Every structure is written in C-alpha cells, then in structure tokens.
Structure 1
Amino acid sequence: MIFITLGSQKFQFDRLLKAVDELVANGAITEPVFAQSGYSDYRPQHYEFKQFLDRDEFAKQMEKADIVITHGGTGAIIGAVKKGKKVIAVPRLAKYGEHVDDHQLQLIKEFKQMDIICACDDCSQLADALDEVKHTEYKPFVSNTQTIIDSIDGFIRASVAHERSAEHRLRILMVGNDPSVKGGITSVIDQLLDHDWNADGVSMTFIPTYIASNPIKKVIFFGKALRRIRRLLSDPQRRPDVVHIHMSYRGSFVRKYQIHKLCRKYGVPDVIHMHGSEFAKWYGECKSSERAKVRTLLREAKAIIVLGQQWNDRVKAIEPAANTVVVSNTVHIPDTKVQQLNNQRFQVLFMGVLIQRKGVSDLLDAVAKLKREGRLGHIRVVVAGTGAQEAELKTKAEQLGLLGDHNSDDLVVDFAGWTAGEKKRELFERSQALVLPSYNEGLPVAVLEAISYGMPVVATNVGDIASAVHDGENGYLIQPGDVNALADALENITDHDRYDTFSRNSRELAERQFSDAEYFRTLVALYQRVAKEA
C-alpha cells in the first residue's frame, strides 16, 4: 500500500497528487493508494484521499503503508523513516506556488546522500522512483540522525535566506507581553524572540504592550507602546509587511483590538495569535457590544493562529468567517538522553501559574490520598510557579501534612517558585514526570517541554493536550477534578517497564510532531502568504 502525506502547510501540492493519479489510471501503480491531501485543490479520481487525518487515522495509514510518498518536510520524512517505511520524497517548488522557496530541493538532496530515502526531484520521474524504491534497501534511522538533520536543516535555511537580498527581507512587527511577565504566552514569545529570523530572510521587531504591574503603570506602558506602533505603521519607509499580534482575553483583547484597528487604518495586514484557554468562556460572558467587537476582529484579521483543532472549532463557533490556521506550539529538542526511572526519588513536576483553573488543589488532594493509603512510595512533587493561589495552596499542603524540611522524609510537596532559564532546565532534567491537572488549557508549552525531555505526562483531557499526551502511550489523560484517577495515574506511572516505554514514546513524539524547524518554516510561509495577499 502507498501512503501519500502532504502535511499541514497551507500550500497546495496538486502536481504530486495528479502525477500519482495518472500512474494509477494507466496501470503503472497497482497497489492501493491513500492520500492525506492537505491544502491541495486537486481531487484524485483513482484513489482514496482525505484532506486531514487525526492522530489515530494517520497512524493507521502509516502502519499499513509499504511505501510513503511525501513532500520535502523534515518531520514528514523522519516520521516515516523512523517507522521503517521506504520513502519517496518530492520537493515543493516555489515556481508552482507550492512553497515560498526551493529549500526542499536541497533538503531532499541531503537526505538522499545519507541513503535513507529515494529522492524524486520531478513528478515526471515518479514511476522510476517507485521502481527504485521497491528494489533498494535504505539505511535505517539511528539515534544521531535527528541531530544531523537539524544541522542540515539550519544550514539550508541560512543558505536560502542568504540568497535573498536585504532589501527584500520580510518586515514583521510582533506585539505581546513583555518578557518579564510570567506565564505560557511569554514562553511562546521567548521562543520567537530567540529564533534566528535573519536565516529565514525576516526582519523581526518586537514591541511589548503589557507588563505585570499596578493598573496605572499598565495603562502608561500600553499608551507608550501604542504610540510606538502608530509611528511605525504610519512611516512608509519603516512600515512592517505584517503585524503578528499575541492576544488573550479580557484586557488583552481590549488592547489588541486597538492595535488591530491601527493596522486597518494604515493598511497593514495582521495575524492574530490566539492564547488564553478560557477565551470562549469569556466571550460568552461579554455584553453584546463587546461580542460584536470580538467577531469583527476575528473576521477582519488576515489570519488567526490557533493551537489545535479544539481551538479552531471554538473560534469558528464564534465567527465562522475567521481565517483560522492551526499552528501548534513547538519546543526545542534538548541534546540530552531521555529520562531514566529514579528508584530513590520519583520527582513529579508541576510547572505553571498557581491559579484555580490549573487544578493544583486537586493535585494536593491526590498526593495526600496516596500518602494516606500507603501508596505514595518514593513519589515527591515539585510545584514550580507563582500566582494568586500560592498562599492558599501552601496552607492546604501544610494542613494535609505534605510539607516538611527540605532534608526531611516528610517533605512530599516542594513549592519551588517561578522558574526560568537554567533553573528551569535543571528542574526538567531532575524530574521523572510532569503533571498538569488543569480545568482549561490550549496546548501548554510545559507539556511540550516535558515530552522533549522524554518525560511521561499525567494531564487532564482538555484543550488540545491530547495531541501531545496519548493516553496509555506516553502518559495518562484524566478528567478535570477526578482526584481518584489522578492518584492512580501518578502511582501507575512509576512502574519500571511502563515508565521506560512512556519515556521513549514522549521523546519520539516531540521529535516527530513538535520540533521547531517545521514550526518556524510554517510561520514564515504564513507571513509570506499574508503579505502577498495584502
């Protein structure tokens, strides 16, 4: 069976789908064919296809396949090779509107030199490629292959960008929280600010619009930021091609609505990057006049970035005309081994803001239940975060007998405060699992960071967490508020054989689905498209 997978990039690849269709029609291909066609317009006449597949459907088709035909995306190629499939890679080309540049040609060439795929530079050569792949044995995926691929991918991006002259660099203005603000939005912004945009032919400017301070200072800070944005948008010599706006709800929406209207005034297209897992709930509580503004912004913005399918459905329910684009959060894959089970101290990490919807109170109840029933074993919990509920949670932990001296066996829960940088990295390296018992989420960066370290995850099945935590494969998914299930999951995850399997699966999932190379390429392609359509 042949499986064609074209990924989720918002570009058509009609040329490839049509070439396969013709080969099936003339009898050159006799095997069953199934295609995940993505954003292509062409509808195959002689084989089955579906635009997008969910995780289980994709895994099923991949398992059945003998040959995978795919575009030159790093994740698509590596995902198939790691499954032991024979891969034919066909590059997307800019001249056909299949991508913004021809980097896939170079990338596929490098893969071919590693002798792990069959390269098909032109669709007219597809029949020959199919003949070759059936009679050739390729090298298997080995542990250091991902590091090599990341290096190649970075080199090619830099080479392609170097060919673009400075005057043709895409100018992007990004606005959002100041990096000093604690929370998941800041984690995403930090990733974007740390990226080498020059290698992508992009000039990135960032103007923070919000700080954590008293109300007067917040207003003054935003007022100054708004003036800076207005000056930039009104200057024909410095005007950005696209404005990337990070937006949540409540005050964040009020601020970003003003920026959106400035973009409209000066004719600059904006991309709204949605955050705030309770956006839909907040929208339902708004007055009709405020809801009308929300719908207007969602309708007028050139693109709405959402973190997953649940987010997409929520936004579409509010404004069906919203031009949503699913771009999951990403994570840099650390150059470390996957986690090993610690039989002396099984450290479970919670990382996030300490507010009610994060479910930390349920976590304390679950840990207390394990201790009370003699099932706690060597489990210890580190709560890394600060927030409005911090004092209340510490009091509760003390009342439940979970606090003690740092060198005492009585210390079951340790409140570590807010962590970032090196301290955060050390916490991930010392911990064996992540727990996130939230009542509402999108796709938290903390979950992606955890699986990148090979950590199993116990989390609630809310938002789009299920895309990164596969129940019974690399962790457990429970329902919000189910303390008994949370306690059982924490106990079960300490089983040695189960832990090793979950740990490997977490790391493989992070490498396959959430690595940052494809994420940034998708963003650049989105910027290019929005700027071109403006």
Structure 2
Amino acid sequence: MTSGRPLKILLGCDTFAPDINGAARFAERLAAGLVHRGHEVHVVAPNTAYRKNPAHTEIIEGEPVTMHRLPAVRWLPHDWLRFIWPWRSKHYARKVLDEVQPDVVHIQSHIVIGRGLTRIAHKRGIPVIATNHVMAENILDHTTMPKFIDDIVLRLAWDDAARTFAMSRAVTTPTRKAADFLERTIDISGVVPISCGIDRSNYTPVIGTRERNRILFVGRLTGEKQVDVVLRAITRLDPALHVTFDIAGGGDQRKALEALTVQLGLTDRVTFHGRVTDEQLRELYSRASVFAIASIAELQSIVTMEAMASALPVVGANAVALPHLVHDGENGYLFEPGNIDDLAEKLTRVLTAEPAEYERMQRASLDGVAVHDINRTLDTFEALYRDEPLPE
C-alpha cells in the first residue's frame, strides 16, 4: 500500500451494480477495496429509474460506498443498459464535484458520465485517471443502425475519447494487449496496463479429475461472446464423453441461443442458469471440468480469471486479451476464433487428458492467476492517484 493520508476518490461509472458485466464488477471491487484500505469513496452511476437519488450509502462487496445515482433511461436495443442523457453529463458533473470535492476522479468509461466528469474536473484542476473497458464490438452489437452509420459514429466516438484521455493524468486498461489496441486505435501513448484483479480467496479450487464432463461459460449472452460457437462445437464431440454445458448469465441473445440448443438437439445437455448468486457461481466453477470462452472482444475477462482461480483449465479464442490469460498447452488451449472444429478438438484434449496432465493444467491456472491479485491492482491505482512511482 502506498503511503500518505486517506484520499477522497470519486469513481465515474457508466455501468455499475446492479448491472452484471466485467466493467461493473471491476468498479465494484475497486470501490470496495479502496474503502477497505481507509479511503473515502464516492461512486457516480446511472440510477435504475429516471430520477436522481440523494447521496446515500450502499453496501458493495461488503463495504459501505457513497453512491450518487443519476436519472437514467433504458437503451432499448439492450436488455439492461441504462444511460444518462449526454447533454446533461456536464451539469451533473458540476453538481457531484461541488458536493464531493474529491482529491482525484477515476472514470471507468469515456462515454457519458466519464466524459462530463473529466471535462469539469480538468477545468477545476482535479486530477483524472481514466480506465478504458470499451471495444467496438461491445458497442456496435447493440445498435440498430446501418453499418456505414455505425462506422461514422464509431470514428467520432474514438475521436472524442482521445480528447477525453488527453485531459487525464494517466490512462489505464486491463492488459498490455488492450493497451496496444487503444494506442493503435486513437494514436495515444503511455497507456498503463493494470489487471482488473480478483480476490482469489473467494473461489474454491478442487484439484483432480471430475466424475462428469462439464463445460462452463459465464458472462453476458451477447453476440461478441459467440456462445453459439461453443454450442456447435459440442455437437462435434464424441458422444461417449457425455458432455454437458452450463451457461451462467443473461443477455439479449438468450432466446436465440435457447432456440439454437433445440435445433442442435442439445436440450438435455445444456442448462441456461440465467443470473446466479455468488455462491451458485462458485459452485458452478468448482464442479466444472473446463471453462470455454469463444469471445472475440475481451479486454481482459474477469470470468476467465475466476475460472483460473477455481483451478479450471481454459479453452479460449485466440483473440485480443484472452491469450494474455490462456497460455496454449499450459493451463489450457487457444483455438482459432469462430473455428468450431478447432474448438471441439481443444475441448477433447482437456476432457480426455490423463489425470496427471489434467491436474498439471489446473495448477498452471492457479499459478497464472496469482499475478492478478486484487491487492496488486489496488497498490497500482493508489500510486496513480497520489502521482507516485508505480510498483513493479
């Protein structure tokens, strides 16, 4: 932990609890971890209705966090996303900054809330740290516009992101690959890779082969996650393996995936659990044989780290940041994105591995996730907040 007095930190989040996604989960863990270390943490985020709630305390990850919930409307093409009107972002930023008077602002997105906070904080001389969790596929999957319009909007959005990041003391993103992506996309340099981090003590690794072959996926059921690729790969597996597939999470693609499950004749082998509690999630991780993720838009993938902390081998798409976590032949395998046969072959390798080889992959996952401990993440952000040298 860095030295010095406790700080008053304002986190600007375009997505936060009760939303369930990687960016929201990271912000929750960051807020709770900072409170646990003695800092005063305020979070500004969309409300679940179009009204402004007075500042109030919410218990986040077991810690009291001061919340500022802003009036928000539902983004209809998406199953849960809510946002504040962009032209109101600076107005709300002024009000929250007047009320909180923070030492530092840390935005989790440059889209709406983060954009407004950065501009007003910059004018007032309040340092801003900006973290990017955004990829094009995450946004464009939920528009209803023609592709040429999407391309124009995307270019304008990244131009605006560049202006926002230029006002920040530091820009961070979860991995080196994600930092490279951002630096190429908006011609920025010096992006700092900082893992989202997890508390490994929250997970229960069970070393040893399983009685049943269970594949697991956890996450939002959206197009870029490509859960359909996993479903199709299961049809290519040897029936003698008696494989089942557990899917935890909700999203706009759930009905389509359920229909595909019926079409593929997998109804008795696939279970859609929907949104689950933390306890249910830990149980799913602990009993699974392998974690499968076909996503092509992961800037880090907290769920993959959770699977690794649960001692699961991982079979993941060789795309964006997944190779940062999945080391081919060590804690699992990488497959060519979208290649059903390649995925089926890599799943078969894990599910038919000899006990000693399976346990070797399990222990490699545990070793690989150790560097993503949440305390390393908190140390690094504290140093950025204080403008101190970063830890190793």
Please give the range of the TM-score, normalised by the shorter of the 2 chains. 0.7 to 0.9
Among 262, 269, 278, the alignment partner of 1:421 is 278
1:397-476 equivalence runs, <5 A: 397-403=261-267, 411-476=268-333
Cα deviation per residue 1:260-310 (whole Å; 9 max; x = unaligned)?
A: 212122221211111123379979643765443222112221111111122
User: How far did 1:218 drift?
Assistant: 4.2
Q: Which residue of 1 aligns with 2:61?
A: none
Mapping of residues 156-175 of structure 1, within 5 Å: 168-175=5-12
What's the counterpart of residue 253 of structure 1?
111
* 2:239 counterpart of 1:361: no
Residue 272 (structure 1) aligns with: 130
User: Which consecutive unaligned segments of at least 5 residues does structure 2 have?
Assistant: 49-71, 141-149
- Deviation (angstroms), 1:498: 2.1
Cα 1:380–1:290, aligned 2, differ >3 Å: closer, same or farther? Answer: closer
Does the aligned pair in 2 maintain the 1:354–1:386 contact within 8 Å? yes
TM-score (norm 2): 0.81
Q: Is 1:214 paired with 2:74?
A: yes
1:296 to 163, 186, 189: 163
Contact persistence 1:277–1:442 (CA under 8 A): yes
Instruction: Give the structure 2 partner of residue 508 of structure 1.
Output: 367
Give the 5 Å matches for 1:126-145: none
**SS of alignment partner, residue 256 of structure 1:** helix
Cα pair 2:205 2:286 within 8 Å, conserved: no
1:208 partner amino acid: A
Query: SS where residue 179 of structure 1 aligns?
Result: coil
Query: Structure 1 residues 516 and 218 mapped into 2: Cα distance closer, same or farther (>3 Å)?
Result: closer
Shift of 1:241: 1.2
Show CA shifts across 1:96-121 (max 9, x none).
xxx943xxxxxxxxxxxxxxxxxxxx
Counterpart position of 1:21: none
- Map of 2:28 onto structure 1: 190
After superposition, the Cα gap between the structure-2 partners of 1:445 and 1:318, relative to the gap in structure 1 and judged at 3 Å, is same
CA shift, 1:324, in A, is 1.4
- Alpha-carbon distance in structure 2 between the residues aligned to 1:394 and 1:311: 32
SS of residue paired to 1:506: helix
**Partner SS state of residue 398, structure 1:** helix
CA contact (8 A) 1:346 1:432 kept: yes
Q: Per the alignment, do residues 196 and 304 of structure 1 end up closer, same or farther by CA in structure 2, a change over 3 Å counting?
A: closer
Aligned to 2:350: 493
SS of equivalent residue, structure 1 residue 195? helix
Correspondence for 2:215: 348
* Matched residue SS, 1:328: coil
Q: What per-residue deviation string (whole Å, max 9, x for no partner) do you get for residues 198-220 of structure 1?
A: 52x42211121365863599456
1:339 to 207, 213, 220: 207
Correspondence 1:393 to 2:250: no
Partner of 1:55: none
User: Counterpart of 1:369 in 2: which secondary structure?
Assistant: coil
Q: Give CA-to-partner distance per residue, 1:476-525, whole Å, 9 cap, x none.
A: 011111100110111110213321110011112212x1112211111111
Give me the whole-angstrom Cα distance separating, in 1, the residues matched to 2:243 and 2:308: 19
* Cα distance change on mapping 1:467 and 1:287 into 2, 3 Å: closer
Per the TM alignment, residue 326 of structure 1 is displaced from its structure 2 partner at its CA by 0.8
1:321 to partner: Cα distance: 4.2
Query: Relative to 1, partners in 2 of residues 1:289 and 1:358: Cα closer, same or farther, differing over 3 Å?
Result: closer
* 2:64 alignment partner in structure 1: none
- TM-score normalized with structure 1 length: 0.60
Q: Distance in 2 between matches of 1:279 and 1:302?
A: 27
Aligned partners of 1:281 and 1:222: how far apart in 2?
A: 16
State the 1:375 CA deviation. 4.3
Which fold has the larger relative contact order, with Cα–Cα distance below 8 Å and residues 6 or more apart in sequence?
2
Question: Contact (CA 8 Å) 2:136, 2:154: kept in 1 or not?
Answer: no
For 1:219 and 1:280, the matched residues in 2 are separated by: 15
Within the candidate set 266, 283, 307, 2:174 is matched to 307
- Which residue type is aligned with residue 107 of structure 2? I
SS in structure 2 of the partner of residue 286 of structure 1: helix
* 8 Å CA contact retained: 2:213, 2:288: yes
Equivalent-residue separation in structure 2 for 1:253 and 1:327 (angstroms): 20
Question: Separation in 2 of the partners of 1:288 and 1:412?
Answer: 43
Is the contact made by 2:73 and 2:83 (CA closer than 8 Å) also made in structure 1? no
**Residue 438 to residue 425, structure 1, CA distance change in 2 (3 Å):** same
With over 3 angstroms needed to count, the CA separation of the structure-2 counterparts of 1:223 and 1:294, relative to structure 1, is closer
Distance in 2 between residues matched to 1:327 and 1:526, nearest whole Å: 11
Distance across 2 between alignment mates of 1:219 and 1:418: 21
Q: Distance in 1 between matches of 2:365 and 2:377?
A: 18
1 CA distance for matches of 2:132 and 2:264? 38
**Helix, strand or coil for the counterpart of 1:348?**
strand
Instruction: Return the offset for 1:190.
Output: 2.2
Could you list the runs of 5+ residues in structure 1 that have no partner in the other structure?
A: 1-98, 102-163, 404-410
What amino acid sits opposite 1:390 in the alignment? R
Q: Distance in 2 between matches of 1:466 and 1:186?
A: 23
Please say if residues 376 and 491 of structure 1, whose CA atoms lie closer than 8 Å, have aligned partners that are also in contact: no
